[in-house]
């Protein structure tokens, strides 16, 4: 534990070390900024070349083809060569996209997490799946699952390339998963469903929809999809409840067959943590079994709040 | 880029350069990356000119986002231009190394708190997070740093 080092001493030590750091050397970067700005100015005015019109025509034709593919119910990705390093073709016939989905192992469960109001939610069918299942995600119109540099689906477990979707103009997806049938460019906020096929041998994964281009706990949620490998009992994945109100957290925990144990810490009157879950144990995405406890720490007015003092 | 824009952005640079650069240094542990992120943020501010209402806030936010990108790009080529080299002494290097034990987000929050002297709401704005999340992460960062102190890494 950390006996003997109280908050004030820690704060003093950090202030002193940062103060020392701020007395160190300091480079002059204004000239670099100006030079870079001038370069950006020049880069934004490229000379017009003969092939520019031809390239534009190709893009227009490509766009029309993409729209046509979407209208046929297919994906414009089908005709797009993705980077070889990120493509893993699925050769397992059991998980081919044309196969009928296997029986869902559990009813639909979407667990609400932090940022519900800000980031929206999504319906996932099924919430647990085995190899060959088609998992369909239907956003509620508030999340940004694809397109632009603000969207993506992230593998919370963090093993290997984690993104699934279109991020910053590049197609990236979990290597074990098949190419998702995502529309080429969803609007920033969408309610269009998209789906993918769960391959064999995936193991248990938790996938979350995030707003950020990089996986960021704070920007993720509220969705968790637990995918179990063939024949495995995935157990229960602890939901993200930090940031939720006590009531929301307890109902979310109970919905998954877990037991909520509440601890309270004092916060200032009017603090945004008042009535909300500040910490949880075990951490989100931890696999537990039904009936296990999830301990949550809920802020309760009124105590001095450390950061805004 | 107009003269007025240049003067306006430079005035902000002169007032916050030290804080921003040292914040970026503390987050990245790399003087070169800190300079790259800072100069790129100010260059972008110069380009956008009058379209930015609050240059200082915009630059804080942009510099941290740019640094995020630089840190995540492990294949980043070596700089093609040479510029002023900054030496970090052993004591500061040890401190930066200790901060390196935090997650990126915790490091950003600690730095914005202690160098930028921002409150939770302001940190949340820079990092596009929520004040509640900032508090939680700061608490965790403190726990981690306290543990480092206990082990004698910070005196």
Residue ranges per structural domain of chain A: 68-232, 235-309
Residue B128 near residue A219 (C-beta atoms within 8 A):
yes
* Residue ranges per structural domain of chain B: 1-82, 88-155
DSSP assignment string, A199-260: PTT--SEEEEEESSSS--GGGB-S--EEEPPTT----EEPP--TTSBHHHHHHHHHHTT-EE
Question: Is the C-alpha dihedral spanning B111, B116, B121, B127 positive or negative?
Answer: negative
CA distance A210 to A216: 8
Residues of A (184-213) whose Cβ lies below 8 Å from B: 212
CA distance B137 to B155: 23
Mutate to test the interface with B, among A18, A30, A243, A271 (most CBs of B within 10 A): A18
Fold of the B88-155 domain: Arc Repressor Mutant, subunit A (1.10.10)
Whether residue B97 lies within 8 A of chain A, CB to CB, comes out as no
DSSP assignment string, A33-68: HHHHHHHHHHHTSPPP-HHHHHHHHHHHHHHHHHHH
Whether residue B148 lies within 8 A of chain A, CB to CB, comes out as no
From B140, which residue of chain A is nearest by alpha-carbon distance?
Answer: A279
Q: Do A33 and B26 touch (CB under 8 A)?
A: no
What ipTM was reported for this prediction? 0.80
Determine phi and psi for B63, rounding to 5 degrees: -60, -40
Strands (E), B1-152: none
Residue A211 near residue A150 (C-beta atoms within 8 A):
yes
pLDDT of chain A along its 309 residues, tens only? 444 567 777 888 888 888 887 777 788 889 888 888 887 777 655 443 333 333 333 333 333 333 333 333 333 222 222 222 222 222 222 332 333 222 222 222 222 222 222 234 455 555 555 555 565 655 554 443 332 222 334 333 333 222 333 222 223 233 333 333 333 333 344 455 555 555 454 444 444 444 433 334 444 443 444 444 334 444 666 777 777 788 878 877 877 778 899 888 877 777 777 888 888 888 776 777 778 888 888 888 754 344 433
DSSP structure class, residue A93: G
Residue A145 near residue A165 (C-beta atoms within 8 A):
yes
Fold of the A235-309 domain: Trypsin Inhibitor V; Chain A (3.30.10)
């Amino acid at each position: 534990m950390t006996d003997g080092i109280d908050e004030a001493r820690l704060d003093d030590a950090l202030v002193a070390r940062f103060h020392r750091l701020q007395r160190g050397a300091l480079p002059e970067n204004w000239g670099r900024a100006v030079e870079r700005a001038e370069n950006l100015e020049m880069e934004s005015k490229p000379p017009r070349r003969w092939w520019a019109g031809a390239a534009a025509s190709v893009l227009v034709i490509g766009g029309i083809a993409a729209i046509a593919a979407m209208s046929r119910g297919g994906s414009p990705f089908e005709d797009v060569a993705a980077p070889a390093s990120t493509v893993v073709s699925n050769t397992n016939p059991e998980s081919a996209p044309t196969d009928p989905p296997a029986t869902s192992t559990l009813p639909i469960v979407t667990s609400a997490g932090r940022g519900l109001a800000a980031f929206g939610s999504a319906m996932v069918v099924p919430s647990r799946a085995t190899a060959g299942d088609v998992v369909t995600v239907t956003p509620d119109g508030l999340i940004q699952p694809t397109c632009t540099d603000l969207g993506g689906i992230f593998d919370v477990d963090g093993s290997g390339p984690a993104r699934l979707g279109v991020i910053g103009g590049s197609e990236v997806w979990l290597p074990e998963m098949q190419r998702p049938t995502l529309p080429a460019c969803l609007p920033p906020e969408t309610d269009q469903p998209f789906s993918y096929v769960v391959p064999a041998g995936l193991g248990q994964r938790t996938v979350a929809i995030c707003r950020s281009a990089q996986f960021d706990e704070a920007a993720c949620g509220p969705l968790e999809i637990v995918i179990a490998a063939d024949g495995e009992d995935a157990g229960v994945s602890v939901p993200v409840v930090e940031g939720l109100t006590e009531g929301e957290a307890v109902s979310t925990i109970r919905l998954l067959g877990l037991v909520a144990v509440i601890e309270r810490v004092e916060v200032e009157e009017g603090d945004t943590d008042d009535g909300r879950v500040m910490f949880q144990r075990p951490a989100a995405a931890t696999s537990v079994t039904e009936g296990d406890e999830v301990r949550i720490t809920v802020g309760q007015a009124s105590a001095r709040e450390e950061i805004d003092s | 880029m107009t003269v007025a824009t240049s003067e306006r952005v430079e005035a902000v640079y002169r007032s916050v350069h030290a804080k921003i650069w040292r914040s970026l240094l503390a987050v990245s542990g790399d003087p070169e990356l800190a300079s790259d992120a800072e100069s790129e943020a100010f260059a972008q501010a110069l380009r956008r000119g009058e379209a930015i209402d609050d240059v200082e806030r915009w630059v804080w936010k942009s510099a941290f986002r740019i640094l995020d990108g630089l840190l995540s790009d492990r294949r980043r080529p070596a700089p093609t231009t040479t510029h002023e080299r900054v030496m970090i002494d052993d004591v500061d290097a040890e401190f930066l190394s200790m901060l390196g034990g935090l997650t990126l987000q915790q490091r950003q929050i600690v730095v914005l708190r202690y160098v930028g002297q921002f409150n939770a709401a302001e940190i949340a704005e820079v990092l596009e997070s929520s004040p509640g999340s900032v508090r939680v992460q700061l608490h965790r960062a403190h726990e981690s740093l306290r543990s480092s102190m206990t082990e004698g890494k910070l005196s």
